[in-house]
């Protein structure tokens, strides 16, 4: 990889300052960024490690909201259990060693179209907290590897409202074990949300027809025979667009059946 400076600030403010340098980039768990750097697909001048910032770590409850610090690793979210669906999802990302390093902030900031956390954030109607503002998940994920983050802006936490019932059903791509299709379903006081990852060229999205169908009848049967249009689904080595569209229906039904 190309060389870079390395800095490890201990506060968000210092991190933001360090990121002011041209081509500086935050480093969280590195589970995505380091393989990318090895392929020489990125050339940061400086990496600003977020792992020394204690205010960005840990999980707290604020009323009916779960606040997860952006530098919290997947393993810690998996162990938390307050929102079972979220912990189950985190516990099934990658492997144990990845979960001991990878963070929720890195995952949402990266917005990989096959990643799991974006589905939870969108499905639960989370709020992404940054060093300068709060962004609703609906506005945050703007396309494959695209988010609403500005240059130098860092995610500091993700706030999840406690759902009445929720679950995530993931169908793994056989090689990478990322989501070939993952569906996060949540029922909250404000209605039902269904977020789909892995399937679409546009990254994570809400499957509105399913939400409507589930609003009146929150049961797997309500989705019988339903699948989204295959038109803008991903087609690759591991599955055609039609197959992915079909799987969205299957995984959505499984998530509804498992929701608790």
Partner 1 sequence: MPKDHGIGASSKRREDVRFLTGDGNYTDDINVHGQAYVHFLRSDVAHGRLTSVDTSEAGKMPGVVRIFTGADFEGVGGLPCGWCVTDRHGEPMQEPGHPVLAQGKVRHVGDPIAAVVADTPEQARDAAEAIIADIEEFPAVVDMKAALKEGAPKVHDDLSSNLCYDWGFVEENREAVDKAIQEAAHVTTLELVNQRLVANPMEPRVAIGEYSRARDEHTLYTTSQNPHVIRLLMGAFVLGIPEHKLRVVAPDVGGGFGSKIFHYAEEAFCTFAAKAVNRPVKWTSSRSEAFMTDAHGRDHVTKIELALDADNNFTALRTDTHANMGAYLSTFAPSVPTWLHGTLMAGNYRTPLIYVNVKAVFTNTVPVDAYRGAGRPEATYQLERVIDKAARELGVDPIALRRQNFVTEFPYATPVAVEYDTGDYNATMDKLEEIADLKGFAARRKESEARGRLRGLGVNCYIEACGIAPSNLVGQLGARAGLYESATVRVNATGGLVVMTGSHSHGQGHETSFAQVVADMIGIDENMVDIVHGDTANTPMGMGTYGSRSIAVGGSAMVRATEKIIAKAKKIAAHLLEASDADIELKDGAFTVAGTDKSVAWGDVTLAAYVPHNYPLEDIEPGLEETAFYDPANFTYPAGAYACEVELDPETGKVTVERFAAADDFGNIINPMIVDGQVHGGIGQGIGQALLESCAYDENGQLLSASYMDYAMPRADDVPFYSVDHSCSTPCTHNPLGVKGCGEAGAIGSPPAVVNAVIDAMQSGGHKVDHIDMPVSPSRVWTAMNG
Partner 2 sequence: MPQVSMTVNGKPASGEAEGRTLLSQFLRETLGLTGTHVGCDTSQCGACVVHVDGKAVKACTMFALEAEGADVATIEGQAAPDGTLNPIQQAFQDHHGLQCGFCTPGMVMSAAALLKENPKPSEAEIRDYLEGNLCRCTGYHNIVKAIMAASGQDVGALAAE
Ligand X SMILES: Cc1cc2nc3c(=O)[nH]c(=O)nc-3n(C[C@H](O)[C@H](O)[C@H](O)COP(=O)(O)OP(=O)(O)OC[C@H]3O[C@@H](n4cnc5c(N)ncnc54)[C@H](O)[C@@H]3O)c2cc1C
Q: E strands along 97-234, which residues?
A: 127-130, 134-136, 141-143, 146-147, 155-161, 165-172, 179-188, 191-197, 205-206
246 binds, among partner 1, ligand X, partner 2, none (CB under 5 to 8 A by kind): partner 1
Contact with partner 1 (CB under 8 A): which of 8, 17, 101, 238? 238
Specify the residue, 180 or 245, whose C-beta has the smaller distance to ligand X: 180
Shortest gap between Cβ of 109 and ligand X (angstroms)?
3
Shortest gap between Cβ of 92 and partner 1 (angstroms)?
12
Q: What torsion, rounded to 10 degrees, do the Cα atoms 14, 16, 20, 25 define?
A: 110
Q: How many residues bind partner 1 (CB under 8 A)?
A: 20
| Tokens (6 digits) for 238 | 């591991």
- Single out the segment in contact with ligand X by CB under 6 A; choices: 76-84, 107-115, 159-167, 222-230: 107-115
Report H helices in 68-128. Answer: 74-80, 84-90, 96-99, 104-110, 117-124
Look at the block and give the residue holding tokens 């779960």: 66
DSSP annotation of 67: E
Burial of residue 20 (number of CB atoms within 10 Å: 0-12, 13-18, 19+): exposed
Closest of 49, 35, 46, 51 to residue 3, by C-alpha: 46
Q: Binding residues for partner 2, per CB under 8 A?
A: 1-6, 8, 27, 30-31, 34-35, 37-39, 47, 49, 51, 75, 94-98, 100-101, 176-177
217 touches 200 (CB < 8 A): no
Specify the residue, 148 or 250, whose C-beta has the smaller distance to partner 1: 250
Q: Site mask, partner 1, residues 20-59, x = CB under 8 A?
A: ------------------xxx-------------------
Q: Determine, following the binding rule CB under 8 A, whether residue 105 of this chain makes contact with partner 1.
A: no
Q: Site mask, partner 1, residues 137-176, x = CB under 8 A?
A: ----------------------------------x--xxx
């Amino acid at each position: 990889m190309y060389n870079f400076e390395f800095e490890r600030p201990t506060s968000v403010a210092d991190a933001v300052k360090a990121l002011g340098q041209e081509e500086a980039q935050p480093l969280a768990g590195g589970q995505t960024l380091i393989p990318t750097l090895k392929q020489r697909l990125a050339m940061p001048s400086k990496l600003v490690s977020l792992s020394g910032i204690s205010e960005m770590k840990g999980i707290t409850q604020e009323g009916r909201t779960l606040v997860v610090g952006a530098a919290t690793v997947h393993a810690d979210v998996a162990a938390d259990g307050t929102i079972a669906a979220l912990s189950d999802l985190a516990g099934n990302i990658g492997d144990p060693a990845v979960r001991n390093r990878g963070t929720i902030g890195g995952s949402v900031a990266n917005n990989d179209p096959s990643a799991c956390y974006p589905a939870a954030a969108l499905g639960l109607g989370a709020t992404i907290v940054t060093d300068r503002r709060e962004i609703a998940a609906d506005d945050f994920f703007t396309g494959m590897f695209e988010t609403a983050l500005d240059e130098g802006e860092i995610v500091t936490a993700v706030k999840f409202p406690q759902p009445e019932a929720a679950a995530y059903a993931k169908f793994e791509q056989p090689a990478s074990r990322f989501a070939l299709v993952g569906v996060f379903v949540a029922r909250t006081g404000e209605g039902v949300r269904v977020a789909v990852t892995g399937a679409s060229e546009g990254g994570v999205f809400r499957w509105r027809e399913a939400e409507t169908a589930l609003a009146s009848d929150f049961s797997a049967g309500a989705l019988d025979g339903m699948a989204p249009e295959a038109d803008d689904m991903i087609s690759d080595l591991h599955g055609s667009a039609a197959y992915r569209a079909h799987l969205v229906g299957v995984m959505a039904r499984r998530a509804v059946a498992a929701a608790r």
